[in-house]
Amino acid sequence: MARDPRYDPLFEPLAIGPVTAPNRFYQVPHCSGMGYQRPQMLAAMRGVKAEGGWGVVCTEYCSIHASSDETPYPSASLRDDDDVHNLRLMTEAVHAQGALAGVELWYGGHTSANLYSREISLDVASLPNQATLGIPGQSQAMAGTDIREFRDYHRDAARRALAADFDIVYVYGNHYYLLHNFLNPYFNQREDEYGGVAENRVRLLREVIEDVAEIVAGRCAVAVRYSIPTRFDKDPRGLIECFRHIAELPDLWDITVDDYNQEMGSSRFTAEAENQATVARLKRLTSKPVVAVGRFTSPDTMLSQINSGTQDFIGAARPSIADPFLPAKIDQGRLEDIRECIGCNVCYAHNSLGVPIRCTQNPGMGEEWRRGWHPETIETRHADESVLVVGSGPAGLEAARALGQRGYRVILAEAREELGGRINLESRLPGLAQYARVRDWRLGQLRRMANVDIYPHNRIDADTVFELESQHVVIATGARWRSDGVGGWNNSPFIGWEQDEVIGVEQILNGYLPEGRVVIYDDDHYYLGTAIALLLAANGNPVTLVSPAESIARWSHFTEEHLPTMKALIEAGVELLGARGLAGFERGVVQLECVFSGNESQLAADRLIPISARVADDALWLALDRRRDEFEQRGLLSLQRIGDCRAPGIVAAAVYAGHKAARELGREKDEFKRDRVIV
């Protein structure tokens, strides 16, 4: 298929100082959870993106000194010759596909706890440490000698960037790291030549840009990542005024907004291209190319950014993770094959946990080197055999899709009329509509496969499995929510759980809206409890959300959703109560227990919705497992259960389970390679 000529502007080359990008698709620096600890994984992952058509592919931030250490988060590093060697793996992989490679020089300041290096962080002032896993301590206020050394850190790192064969070198001026703090009068209250008026506050950033430009002159472009206010007309920190002083200095501006919860906003709270009007206004202040992110998934939205002059490059982090081949698919006229980001931020969550990123939509993310998985290609079938997949939730859909791609004859059976499993129900909750992309993309792929037959509204039992005579059987029948409160806090049912006023999660997900005052007990700690709370609050119910954790929806801290979630709940009038376990429910009264002291308390409620653990729907699996002898006697070759049917988890885990099962069918399991230093 040929590219629609409407999209030609997305494929026009553009000069960035002394180098030229082959197109307008630009993978901005983004975290990977790989960094200096896993250089082969990092290189393979970035190389696949270049193969997929991204014209510029950047690292995550690279620490340039031991006093900028974010352990246990494995950022990239550019501090010595070994780092040069490791990062050259990435530049070689990117250059092999004809793309430019960019590196982001990073110094964290008061955001670095230096838990590994035990060095003292420098910053504009002696500021309390703000690292996620920080310590009670402060940064060192920079004196003149410190500023000179800081500039030397960047000069040395720029030389190493040249040695590693990078094409674009970033100066990092945002996200509340050191250089951004000099710009910000909230932190910068210095009385020397680096404080006070905007011209002085921007002085250090200017000097570092000039230093790096002097080192890389004629060989690399210099880019600057810079934050601006989400509202252009309100700039109490003078960021736009500072920008005016250096607007023509670098070769490229990478523009973000100064609210990370909005820049990295999940689809629950931030729409595609939500910040682009602000970006467009700043672009008018410079003649240099501008790149900005907007969680772009629509080719038409991307095109509008270029044609309107809003920005010169389509910046992407999450969309390039969900589909590394997004540019190639636009180029080849395969828009229906684009695997769109759902904005769940599961990628970011795992970096926040100090491990390689993963993706709900792209189960191969992070497995390019470790397991040899490619996001677009897959080993063909090992034999002319058929596979029965029972269940069409995220695990079953992905298993059937990947098996179909391998060339097996596939039967996909679903007990319900509608395919999609839990996705059908959860995507109807407030803010979760884009989760439906998990279902829709896979159904779109399956319906174009002549070797896949789909049978909705067909409940399969063990006898039917034998009658179908598929050589391989994959059980993906999902899980259901408990209504008795058994979960992480308490392994026993609460008193009174059998009452009619106790409403199961499944009832809410299927459209039931109770009357009166509702207490939601959330021992799941992710998005479901808060989404149901917002649903009922919008319905007019007085709602109290209770959790045994100190922090409501605590896992959403990792996905960068916690702050906007709390804001939405408070604005909706939902009462929040943490550190309380559910002990009982009787006659309209919820009995609670303080998780610290054991003290009891009560809440009035007309209805109680407990959200705790789930139970695997594994009856079919157990029935078949008991008849394994018969299974083998009939010549059937393999039987496995996957996804929530095996171990309930998040949607990303179910998709991964389905993909892994399909990859490994009929062959030895993929070797799990460890990317590590061997002494």
How far is Cα 274 from Cα 345, in angstroms, rounded to an integer?
17
CB 530, CB 553: distance < 8 Å: yes
CB 248, CB 542: distance < 8 Å: no
CB 484, CB 509: distance < 8 Å: no
Handedness of CA 135, 109, 40, 650 (dihedral sign): positive
DSSP code of residue 668: P
Strand-pair partners of 584? 495, 591
Beta strand pairing status for 518-522 and 543-546? parallel
**What pTM was estimated for this model as a whole?**
0.97
Count of other CB atoms within 10 angstroms of residue 108: 27
CB 31, CB 356: distance < 8 Å: no
DSSP code of residue 495: B
pLDDT for residue 74: 86
Active-site positions read: 177
Regions in the chain scoring below 50 on pLDDT: none
pLDDT for residue 679: 64
How far is Cα 245 from Cα 241, in angstroms, rounded to an integer?
7
Closest to 253 (Cα-Cα) out of 165, 157, 154, 173: 173
Give me the phi and psi of 479, to 5 degrees please: -150, 165
- Domain boundaries for CATH 3.40.50.720 within the chain: 386-478+617-664
- Percent of the chain that is helix, strand, coil (3-state, to 5): 35, 20, 45
Count of other CB atoms within 10 angstroms of residue 629: 8
Note the pLDDT tens digit of each residue in 18-28.
Answer: 999 999 999 99
Handedness of CA 222, 228, 230, 231 (dihedral sign): negative
In the numeric block, the tokens 């008849």 are attached to 627
CB 205, CB 183: distance < 8 Å: yes
Q: Which residues contact 545 (CB under 8 A, 6 or more apart)?
A: 520, 522, 529, 530, 533, 552, 569, 574, 575, 576, 577
DSSP code of residue 482: -
DSSP code of residue 56: E
DSSP H helices, 96-143, are: none
Report in angstroms the alpha-carbon separations of 495 from 484, 499, 585: 9, 10, 6
Note the pLDDT tens digit of each residue in 420-448.
Answer: 999 999 999 999 999 999 999 999 999 99
CB 122, CB 142: distance < 8 Å: yes
- Domain boundaries for CATH 3.50.50.60 within the chain: 482-614
In the numeric block, the tokens 């002898």 are attached to 629
Q: Which CATH architecture group holds 482-614?
A: 3-Layer(bba) Sandwich (3.50)
CA 327, 333, 334, 335: dihedral to nearest 10 degrees?
Answer: 70
For 664, counting Cβ atoms within 10 Å of its Cβ (0-12 exposed, 13-18 middle, 19+ buried), the class is: middle
- Domain boundaries for CATH 3.20.20.70 within the chain: 12-26+61-315
Three-state SS at 443? helix
**Tokens matching residue 432:** 């979760």
Q: What is 386-478+617-664's CATH number?
A: 3.40.50.720
How far is Cα 4 from Cα 192, in angstroms, rounded to an integer?
57
CATH topology of domain 12-26+61-315: TIM Barrel (3.20.20)
Three-state SS at 650? coil
CB 311, CB 279: distance < 8 Å: yes
How far is Cα 228 from Cα 543, in angstroms, rounded to an integer?
37
Three-state SS at 463? helix
